[in-house]
Amino acid sequence: MNHRKYRILFLWFYGISLILWIIQEAYTLTNPPDIFDRYRVFIASFETLIAISSFLTIFILYKELKQEAGENNQAKVVIYDLKRTNRILKGPEMNFWKEANQQMNEWKLTDTEKAIAVLILRGFSHQQIAGVRGKSLRTVENQTASIYEKSSMRGKLEFISFFLTPLLPEEE
């Protein structure tokens, strides 16, 4: 179990104990105190205020944990992209296709889809790919749609851009 799970487990336990405490304090406040027990009403009110502020603190901590998790995921994506760019730039001619193939494996493209993806990266149109592969235009369109779906890309330009962006110099 990692630290995040322990924190969440602790927050749930703390929240349940606060609810029980508030129920007990509400019971104390609703039962009329006798003359000598009036200070208990003040103490119960103060304790209830502390419990409510604790819930607010738990809510804030929970929101911060969710935000940190999102930021961590974004950082992992940026680090992955930078590592990929660094690997490509070490030897652009040789490493480009190696990285492209590795990425296509991560997307779980079939061998046919990989071959079509390479032709797309080389700038071939659907008609040209159909001619080179000896397939119908509709078949090529279906296979490219599958490639874009598996890679979470919206089309040819975004697909090509994904691979070429690491090779471009930074904007000034």
Q: Which two tokens stand for residue 89?
A: 């730039």
Sign of the alpha-carbon dihedral angle for 101, 102, 105, 107: negative
- pLDDT class for 48, splitting at 50, 70, 90? confident
**Higher pLDDT, residue 45 or 64:** 64
Contacts of 165 (CB under 8 A, 6+ apart): 85
Whole-model pTM: value is 0.51
Q: Does the pLDDT value for residue 39 go beyond 70?
A: no
Position 50 scores a pLDDT of 79
Express each pLDDT in 63-117 by its tens digit. Answer: 888 888 888 888 887 777 767 666 666 665 666 777 788 888 989 999 999 999 9
The per-residue pLDDT for 92 is: 59
pLDDT at 108: 93
Query: 145 pLDDT exceeds 90?
Result: yes
